[in-house]
Structure 1
Amino acid sequence: MTYKRVVLTSGFAMFSMFFGSGNLVFPLIIGKETLDVSVYGTLGLISTAVIVPFLGLFGMILYNGDTRAYFNKLGKIPAFLLTLMMLSLMGPFGVVPRCITVAYGGLNVLYPDMSFMWFSLGFCALVTLLIWKSNRVVDVIGLVLTPFKLGGLLLLLLIGLYYAPPVTSTTISSSAGFFTGLHLGYQTMDLMAAFFFSATTVAYLRQNLHKGDGGAILFRISLYSLLIGAALLAIAYIGFVALGAYYAPDLVGVKPESLLVAIADKTLGALALPIVGYTMAVACLATAVILTILFVDFLYLEILKGKIGEKAAIFITIGTTFAISLLGFSKICSVLGEVLEITYPALIGLAIGNILAATTKIDLSRYAFWSILVLNIAYKYVY
């Protein structure tokens, strides 16, 4: 496989891994809430959902995709607990169940009598099927799922923006719009994902190195992949925030997980709803697959220490995912929001600290993480 194809595949896979459930919903909410100051909302979103996550990715590339070395700067026990928390929230206790609810929101319009419980069971079964041989996951996501997703999203964006009505005015300030985007960008959880997606991507790139190529080549193609993923993500966010702003009057009273379908119905008509519905489902499936693999690996290798089989770890993870998905989109987001409000700024401090440590040998990672975390807890619960 040529390096050009490897870079494109991994870049598309990065985008597809990131652009899942929350990424299909929160940009639309930002546009809906910020209206004619949505440009500032977009800037806030890009800050926390593109720039910050890809700082994390860049830092992980500097550490060769080694999550253990990256987090052990906090100490072995804190690193283990932090990793467990992040993978749990991104996996069966948060993002993967949220993926199921958003996928259901996209398809429920097509199949209004479909039971959520049975849909969730089917989704979980499909994830299990796809991760049974995890060594092929980047190829499956990058070469199969991503083109389908990009085609559907691009169709909706082009037609939706072409026929968009004028944006209505809002009473909120540009700074309020920026902080709306900044805050909802936390909910995408892309920085947490970046720490672990990079390990998967670097491992994939390392497997495809030509014989005799060293670390410099690996760093370069990793960086190119990162830039492709970041560019695609930023373009998607700009377009989806704009859609939310333009079609805000048509989104009043619509559930968050069904916003995209409502816009599709308005712009493309009922005949195009299957394209959008299945695009949403595929987008959520791609993210759910990689996040489930990450948690299963951690559960099997780090928690259970191989005491049970890897397949048993898969069933434990999938069972938990199914149970949590029954809470519904709003409840899951509410719980995630509480945790992220405290931890996300501290993780940003860790990401910046680790980049400085790798490039300048000035190691402030531990200080940055703990000081920000303590200040956040004090601000939220004391003051």
Structure 2
Amino acid sequence: MLSLVVIEWLFAILVLIVFTNRYIFGSLLRLSDGRTTPGFGKDPMVWPRVAIVVPVFNEGPSVRKTAASFAALDYPRDRLRVVFVDDCSTDGTYDHLKAAQADFPWMDVQKNPRNMGKRLGIKNAVLRIDSELVLSVDSDVIVEDSSLKNLVRHMYASGADAVGGCVFVSNADENWLTRMQAVKYWIGYQFLKNLENAFDHVMCLSGCLTLYKRAALLSVDADLEQRTFLGDEVKYGEDRFLTRKLVERGYRTRLCFTSRCFTKAPATIRNYLSQQLRWRRSNTIDFITAIPHMNRFNPVVLVHYISIAFLLFFYPLFLVSQIVRLGFVVPMLEHALLVTAFALPYELNKHKLPEFARTSGIWFLSMAFVFPVMYITLTPLAIATLGTTSWETRGAKPAAKAG
């Protein structure tokens, strides 16, 4: 019983640190940071050349909608280039890319000679282009027409080297699972990165929508060339890995709240669990491999980063101790109270999202059951399967290891 009490006390301390940093300290820092206001940044005298690089694997016809959103961007066409990089898709995606190219002949479609993963696909494309800025966009994403200009303004005005946009769910009302995720995505981008953003030290910029200075990407080219863990090539968690390497080299990473895109959330339990498992593997490997480089992190962000790492491992232990002492119902009720508090700000602000990205905040209550179950089952499984090389995206099949 003593060991269970110790676990619960340690967990309580970690939760207090993380909660304070994310939702109190971080929110106060955001409110006091003029760079987070909608009017921050001015148009440059000449808009820089931007290459949009889109790694693609088994996305099917959705890539055509992504291409159409690029064509609708409010950005000078002569300063814009689009490069789709197909990673040997097996479901006809390449044919859909060629069809999109027929609709928009100014967009390029390239195909990797072998399946090499998102990281190397982006890396090789960056080496072949000469644009000053590179915009990474996932292949199932719809980009808001003002997003690119807002990212450029924010980058130039803040002096950042990489700026990410906010990601919301495009199929918000498809079923209960996408509704739950729609609220979760909104909460994540409104709260979870505020402390890191205040110090220009965001530790994970999403590949859904992030603008990089090409020079910064070239500086970490050697890091991206070979990424292994315990002898296995790692192809998941590319966004987090790339961002951390930039931070380790002293580059400034930020989030722009006025730049938005919309992605499809997994609509089936199988795909959702696959995504969550991949993210947990990514987090675990990131925390482990960051240990030798932590002296390069901002001290405030470092405390937050370490607290999150320990929380990742202690949370399943805490849940087990709670279930042993109290049964499953009590922890679930505790989570229900917590998620209700987070659903309220979503309800008050969802009118700012387009209609297709809105849902009812009440659906976030399902997280009270999903969250603890996932942590008890998926976190240990993620640790046990860190060596997998699969993208594990929609329709993906395990990729063969690089020879």
- TM-score range, shorter-chain basis? under 0.3
Higher RCO, Cα 8 Å, sep 6+: 1
